Amino acid sequence: MRPMTFLNVDVAAGVATVVIDRPPANAVTPELIEEFLTVVPGLSDDPSVRVIVLTGVGRFFIAGADIAVMRDLSLDNHVRMRRWIEVQRLLELAPKPVIAALNGHALGGGAELSLACDLRIAAASATVGFPEMQLGLFPGAGGSQRLPRLLGLHKAKLLMIEGRRLSAASALEIGLVDEVVPDEEFAAVVATRAAEWAAKPTATIGLLKTSMLEGAPLDMEGAMAVEWAAVQQVIASEDAAEGLQSFLDKRKPEFRGN
């Protein structure tokens, strides 16, 4: 893979950590989007990667779209920036868990990216919000459709109309993040959680992700068929055999992720 300018990728012990480093605010530009579109598929396809962690350098996770870039209100520019949605779909459909480690401000398109991840862990000093409307913009980086699915229509609408930046604690209260960690413990807790998730049956998690998404818009009959197709894949997996055998052997399972 060609060297990246804004993304630092480290893979160790099954954990791929993608660190966003585009000073001063990790704001999103077409160039940063292209780097994500280069990095994420490779991590998705790499069987040695059991979990992907996204995080930022400094006091910003992602401050959202680069406002200077967004000043170009042309359709062409928005088509370029709209590829952020492709990044989100790659994460949402990745055949492995994706953790958004919100080290700092996660705003606008940054918060919207986190909605496509499977776990959101926030440092206590992080803030999360959808301030697009304060800029006269539409929260159109996936958030207007994912947030209602997460929080319910009314709460999502209020959050987006008001555009408030929530503290990590407030975001936890409403279910926008899953865990809040004191700043000084954040890196260690993220590493621990990532290691825990890397040891789980990775392929089965990938199947759970895609079958839940596939089944969501279907009627119960169709959804049950999606679930049954997933079950049939999992019962043929090494991890299913290992999990059951480990219980009978009274030992911890050693899932190999397939």
Question: Contact, 14 vs 46, CB < 8 A?
Answer: no
Q: How far apart are CA 53 and CA 56, in angstroms?
A: 10
Q: Is 65 in the site for ligand LEDWP2DD (CB under 6 A)?
A: yes
Q: Is 105 in the site for ligand LEDWP2DD (CB under 6 A)?
A: yes
In the annotation, is 132 catalytic? yes
- Contacts for 173 with CB less than 8 Å, ≥ 6 apart: none
- Taking the least distance from each CB to ligand LEDWP2DD, the nearer of 157 and 256 is 157
Q: How far apart are CA 104 and CA 222, in angstroms?
A: 40
Q: How far apart are CA 82 and CA 172, in angstroms?
A: 28
- Given the residues 34, 112, 173, 227, the one annotated as active site: 112
Q: How far apart are CA 173 and CA 25, in angstroms?
A: 26
Residue where the block lists tokens 């776990």 = 119
Q: Give the nearest distance from C-beta 56 to ligand LEDWP2DD in angstroms.
A: 12
3-state secondary structure of 181: strand
Selected binder of ligand LEDWP2DD within 135, 151, 191, 223 (CB under 6 A): 135
Give DSSP secondary structure letters for 76-99: HHHHHHTTHHHHHHHHHT-SS-EE
- Given the residues 34, 35, 92, 132, the one annotated as active site: 132
Task: Give the range of 40-48, 133-141, 198-206, 230-238 binding ligand LEDWP2DD by CB under 6 A.
Answer: 133-141
In the annotation, is 238 catalytic? no
Q: Is 138 in the site for ligand LEDWP2DD (CB under 6 A)?
A: yes
Q: Is 106 in the site for ligand LEDWP2DD (CB under 6 A)?
A: no
- Taking the least distance from each CB to ligand LEDWP2DD, the nearer of 81 and 99 is 81
Q: Is 107 in the site for ligand LEDWP2DD (CB under 6 A)?
A: yes
- Contacts for 143 with CB less than 8 Å, ≥ 6 apart: 108, 109, 111, 112, 115, 130, 132, 160
Q: Is 116 in the site for ligand LEDWP2DD (CB under 6 A)?
A: no
Q: Is 78 in the site for ligand LEDWP2DD (CB under 6 A)?
A: yes
Q: Which residues bind ligand LEDWP2DD (CB under 6 A)?
A: 24-25, 27-28, 63-68, 70, 78, 81-82, 84, 105, 107-109, 131-132, 135, 137-141
Question: Catalytic amino acids?
Answer: 112, 132
